[in-house]
Amino acid sequence: MKLPQILEISLLTSFSCVLGGNAALGEQVKDIRHISHFLLAQLSTPDSAKPTELIEVTAVKVNSTEKGVEIILETAKGNQLQVLNRSSGNSYIADIPNAQLRLPNNNTFRQEKPFAGITEVIVTNQDANSIQVIVIGEVSLPTVELFDGDEGLILSFTPVASSRPQPEQQPSAAPPQPEQPASETPSEQPTVQADDPIELVVTGSQDSGYSVPDASTATKTDTPLLEVPQAIQVIPRQVIEDQKVQRVADVLRNVSGVTVQTDYAGTDSYTIRGFNTNANLRNGFRQDNFTGFTDTSTIERIEVLKGPASVLYGQLEPGGIVNYITKQPLNQPYYSATFSAGSYSYYRPEIDISGPLTPDNSTLYRFIAAYENSGGFRDFAFKELYTFAPSLSVKLGDRTNLDLQYEYVNLNQSYDRGLPPIARSFDLPISFNFGEPTDRYELFANRVNVALDHRFNQDWRFRSAVSVQTVDTARSNFQPVNFTNPFDADGQTVARRYNKVGDYSREYSWQNDLIGKFNTGSIGHELLLGVEFGRSVFGYPFQISYNVPSLDILNPVYGAVTPTTFEEGFEDERNTYRVGLYFQDQVALLPNFKILLGGRLDFVNFKNESQPDIINGAEAQITERYYEKFSPRIGLVYQPTKNLSLYTSYTRAFKPDEFAIAVGGRLLEPETATQYEVGVKGELLDGKLTATLAAYEITKTNVATSDLNNLGSPFSIAAGEVKSRGIELDSKWRDFTWLECDRFLFS
């Protein structure tokens, strides 16, 4: 149900009762109604339900009913439209923010006398950010009913019959002049009367915020999930808030086939369909997962595309990709402050504020800040986290938007290797730590995104975005020399070593996409043409000292002095330069039968500079490799009904193994993978239950294996093959919880 409208009805009814007995307050009705709208904007609409982008209404229909007419605003996101109601004389006026008409001929819809008692219906773009609907009653204001439908937002009007004939030449007050697009000449309209509150009946069910109709990760366009021929799961903000998730990786437990990898520093690493991911995405840009850390405060939703994603994003593992979609500025004032506390001295304040900076909503802002401090059940455990994320959205014109985002993350925590399995046989307490109180892990991340979006017309748009991500980490810790069997002959003494590591990663990327819709006869197309330029830098300096005291587990003495000299050390720096050209065509052969065709050609230059012995000043060894690779995709979707999809797809992926080297220092050929997938997607019980059942088989070739002709050497050959096949079921009940299960065979 449209909760803001229900609250508005209650507020206005209450105010009417109060004002009805006091004529002196009658002049304040308008002001109070504005206050009620303000309260609704702040209190009744959760952040996850507020639109963060312009919602396109592609058609307007006026249908006759038994009692009047209904106006249908056709859009796949009807449940996200917010209606602000008012009246002027006999005219009902609805302002719908964050929406735009995208009609085939022009962006104004008019129809005179659609039903007895209603003189005219007008639907037009009020400005660059909103739609205005005006319905004029012949003798008085019509009654209104609002509800969601499969086609979009539906407004149903019933005219009020006249009790006596109306004199001629005394027409009812006409509606206010709707703001016309700059290219259109506004028609003449009489002067408006003062706004009056109206009664609105709302029909439907309350949206929980779990239902997400479309996603962009699979196609780089806003495509309904039912039309994507590949398994994709979307975890909206409402799930993150309801589950009180503190670590973003825990959100992925809601998705079948995804396993969170064990990581001592808490970075974002996953296994999808049996393959470890080598990178994640952030708003569609690569983010190294070895040094990546994401705080939940900045995330609007998480999209998980299962299976190869190289067709749009280049060199990736074939299991799938995780895409973090961040929060965007809102066009209505929003203020949120939360505080949570828990065991082990855990506490976390968080603020999130957003809204317009200008009266015409041409400039929007958002600011997010979070702080977290906690201990843990392990000895010496601590964590301190700072997150700041300001963003700005500026309308440079009616068809051009500029978005700027920045995020800073500072993480300072203990570094804990945990207990080796053999330690349990000594009955060590779960809190026992083989390290020192000084062990720590620090991360400093700066992420900048700048995106320019321009619409040439209602069918063609150009999008250009730049992403810069820098992450620096520092790790220092004491740990057993042999973690598999750490104990000396006496069974209680553990020899230790000291590690000092300083990773750094740099991700630079520039993406340019041209998206257009057109027809060839009766066949519809949505075309995507893109080019990406990128550079990735990853450095890994590592130093080791063995000149540290051992630890007696029966009588542990902590406080070892941090070494200043090291016996071993090496350093690697990997630079990857890439250019990707990609295309995609979503072909609608029939309204219920669609084909997805796409491919990407990558040009990659890889350079690895390794200094195997930095202690003695050894010369760096440089290895370079250039390769080209094409990654295709084809998929079919058939919808026997509008709420059920049958699909099949063929997809390929590639990724170089940057650590495997053949004899002579030559890098191996990139690993390639092929996936075949079939599945069923459905929305049942009026969309409350959504489910995806998928069966897949992934075959990965050119996997690095040991060179049997050079046993005992670090050399490899590209001769291995790995296969993963399985069946997955993901479903969610909109008003309750998630269900996920999977079964896969990895060979």
What HEC string does 81-117 produce?
A: CCCEEEEECCEEEEEEECEEECCCCCCEEEEEEEECC
Q: Using alpha carbons only, give the angle 130, 132, 135 rounded to the nearest 5 degrees.
A: 165
Whether 280 maps to a domain, the answer reads no
| Strand, coil or helix: 20 | helix
Angle at 693 between CA 689 and CA 696, to 5 degrees: 160
Please report the sign of the dihedral spanned by the C-alpha atoms of residue 518, residue 523, residue 526, residue 527. Answer: negative
**So what's the pLDDT on residue 426?**
65
Query: Quick check: is 371 in a domain?
Result: yes
- 213 in a structural domain: no
Q: Which residues, 6 or more positions from 563, have their beta carbon under 8 angstroms from its beta carbon?
A: 498, 545, 547, 548
555 and 419 belong to one structural domain: yes
Residue appearing with tokens 């993963």:
724
Provide the Cα torsion 210, 212, 217, 220; round to 10°: -160
**523: amino acid identity, one letter:** I
Calpha distance 428→554 (Å, rounded): 9
- Residue 550 — left, alpha, or beta (φ > 0 → left; ψ -120 to 50 → alpha)? beta
Note whether 51 and 131 are within 8 A (CB).
no
**Residue 19: per-residue pLDDT:** 35
What is the model's pLDDT at position 176? 46
Distance CA 157, CA 116 (A): 11
Instruction: Determine the 3-state secondary structure of 467 from DSSP.
Output: strand
Chain-centroid distance, C-alpha 505: 22
Task: Give the span between the Cα atoms of 647 and 307, in whole angstroms.
Answer: 14
Per the structure, the complete domain to which residue 35 belongs is given by 3-164+173-203
Confidence of residue 281 (pLDDT cuts 50, 70, 90): very high
Q: What is the pLDDT of residue 20?
A: 36
Asked if the model's pLDDT at residue 181 lies above 70, the reply is no
What's the whole-number mean pLDDT along residues 76-92? Answer: 82
Q: Tell me how far CA of residue 432 lies from CA of 52, 195, 428, 551, in angstroms.
A: 47, 70, 7, 12
Question: What is the pLDDT at residue 667?
Answer: 74
Question: Phi/psi class of residue 734: alpha, beta or left (left: φ > 0; alpha: ψ in -120 to 50)?
Answer: alpha
Q: Look-up: residue for tokens 């542990």?
A: 556
pLDDT tens track for 408-436: 999 999 998 888 777 655 678 889 999 99
Residue 337's CATH number: 2.40.170.20
Render pLDDT for 684-701 as a digit per residue (tens, 0 to 9): 877 678 899 999 999 999
Q: What is the sign of the dihedral through the CA atoms of 284, 285, 289 and 292? A: negative
pLDDT exceeds cutoff 70 at 492: yes
Q: Which two tokens stand for residue 233?
A: 């799961």
Confidence at 683, pLDDT banded by 50, 70, 90 = confident
Do both 195 and 332 map to the same domain? Answer: no
CA atoms within 13 A on the CB side of 423: 21
Mean pLDDT to the nearest integer, 231-245: 89
**Which DSSP state fits 129?**
T
For residue range 609-621, list pLDDT tens digits in order. Answer: 888 888 877 888 8
Helix (H) or strand (E) holding 443: strand 440-455
Are both 480 and 611 inside the same structural domain?
A: yes
User: What's the mean pLDDT in 262-266?
Assistant: 70
Residue 135: CATH number of its domain: 2.60.40.3500
Give the end of a domain, one of 203, 221, 253.
203
Is 296 part of any domain? no
Please state at what angle helix 3-20 crosses helix 29-39, rounded to 10 degrees: 150
Number of domains in the chain: 2
- 571: which residues sit within 8 A by CB, 6+ positions away? 539, 540, 541, 542, 610, 611, 614
Alpha-carbon distance 707 to 391, whole Å? Answer: 51
Does an H or E element contain 241, and which?
Answer: helix 237-242
243, pLDDT greater than 50: yes
| Contacts with 140 (C-beta within 8 Å, 6 or more apart), sequence order | 90, 160, 162, 172
**Rounded CA separation 233/254 (Å):** 9
Rounded to whole angstroms, what are the CA distances from 313 to 30, 396, 501, 511, 724? 53, 29, 30, 10, 22
Residues 310, 281: Cα–Cα separation, whole Å: 12
Give the lowest-confidence range in 10-24, 356-370, 477-491.
10-24
In a domain, 255, yes or no: no
For residue 557, with 0-12 CB atoms within 10 Å meaning exposed, 13-18 middle and 19 or more buried, which class applies?
A: exposed
Element (H, E) at 249: helix 248-251
| Residue 352 and residue 487 in one domain | yes
Q: 740, 738, 741: which is closest to 209 by C-alpha?
A: 738
Structure confidence by residue, pLDDT tens digits, 547-572: 999 999 889 999 999 999 999 888 88
DSSP 165: P
pTM of the model: 0.73
Structural domain includes residue 312: no
As a whole-number percent, the residues of the chain with pLDDT over 70 amount to 82
Residue type for 249, please? A
What distance in Å separates the CA atoms of residue 265 and residue 247, rounded to the nearest whole number?
12
Per-residue pLDDT at 182 exceeds 80:
no
pLDDT tens-place string over residues 698-722: 999 988 887 777 766 667 787 788 9
Give the residue, 589 or 150, on which the prediction is more confident: 589
| Cα–Cα distance, 433 to 428 (Å, whole number) | 10
Q: What pLDDT does residue 22 have?
A: 38
259 within some domain:
no
Question: pLDDT digit string (tens) for 90-115?
Answer: 888 888 888 888 887 667 888 888 88
Q: Which residues of 161-196 are buried (b: 16+ CB within 10 A; e: fewer)?
A: eeeeeeeeeeebbbbbebebbeeeeeeeeeeeeebe
Give tens-digit pLDDT for 51-70: 456 788 888 888 888 788 88
pLDDT tops 90 at residue 584:
yes
pLDDT higher than threshold 50 for residue 329: yes
Residue 679 vs residues 157, 231, 403, 652: alpha-carbon distances, Å? 42, 8, 37, 18
Q: Share the mean pLDDT of the chain.
A: 82
Note whether residue 633 is domain-resident. Answer: yes
Sorting pLDDT into bands at 50, 70 and 90, what band is 169? Answer: very low
CA angle, corner 344, sides to 341 and 349, nearest 5?
Answer: 25
In the chain, what is the straight-line distance between the N-terminal and C-terminal CA atoms, in Å? 49
- In a shared domain, residues 484 and 619: yes
Q: How many CB atoms lie within 10 A of CB 537?
A: 16
pLDDT band at 188 (very low <50, low <70, confident <90, very high): very low
